Structure formats: C-alpha cells, structure tokens
Structure 1
Amino acid sequence: MNKPLQNSATWSDTLESRKAHLNTLLKTINAGAGKISHIQTLTINAIKAEMANIERQLNGRK
C-alpha cells in the first residue's frame, strides 16, 4: 500500500516556482553592464518564451 506524499506541491505551485526561478535568471543575465552578446540575446528570448508558456498554463488553470 502506498502512502500519499505529505508535502506534495500542486502543479500551480510548481509552475510559480519555475517562473520565479526563470525571472531570477533573467535578472542575472541582464545585470551585466555593457554590450549583450548574441548568445545572451538568444538565452533571454528563450527564457521569456518559457515564462510566457508558464503564464499561459497558469491562466488556463484559473
């Protein structure tokens, strides 16, 4: 017999955590002063796209 997890996070909580983590990464990448490289631009765009995807998932759950 399997016992249910006592401290399991909901899917919404997990998405909120991922969003907060990505937001912190975005701030870290943007913190560097000076010229932004092509790789940084691609990384920033990928993080923003993932954050938008998470936002859509969260809005769909409401």
Structure 2
Amino acid sequence: MITQIGSSASWCDTLKARKEHLGALLKIVDIKPGKTTMVQALTIKLIKDEMSYIESKLKRRP
C-alpha cells in the first residue's frame, strides 16, 4: 500500500535519498569503453532520466 508523506521536508528528503540511491546504482553499472551492452546503455539512460526528473521535482519545491 502506498502512503502519502505528511510534510514537504520529508518529501524532499525522500527525493534526495532516492537520487543518492540512483547515483550509487549508476556507479555499479559503470561502463567501460568498448564493452557496452544494450542492456547497460538502456539502464544508464533510464537512471539518468529518473535522476533528472527528481532534480526537476526538487527545484519546483519551495
């Protein structure tokens, strides 16, 4: 069950923690030159897109 977070401070903290987690995942999937698979490339693109989305959400918050 999904629950709503009560205060905006905790919502921002949740987004920041989510962004940090995605950053750690990005380091795990680290690409070496010339050894990129399609799955790695798509995973990295999706992680970066999600991080951009989180950044935009954080910027909109007062």
Which TM bucket (shorter chain)?
A: 0.7 to 0.9
Residue matched to 1:13? 13
Structure showing greater radius of gyration is 1
* One-letter amino acid matched to 2:46: A
Which runs of 5 or more structure 2 residues have no equivalent in the other structure? 1-8
Q: Percent identity?
A: 49
How far apart in 2 are the matches of 1:36 and 1:15? 29
Runs of 4+ aligned residues of structure 1 deviating over 3 Å after TM superposition are none
Paired position in structure 2 for 1:36 = 36
TM-score by length of 1: 0.78
TM-score under structure 2 length normalisation? 0.78
- State how many pairs are aligned: 53
Q: Deviations over 1:18-58 (max 9, x none)?
A: 0000000001100x646010000000000000000000000
The CA RMSD measured in Å over matched residues stands at 1.5
The gaps in structure 1 that reach 5 residues or longer are 1-8
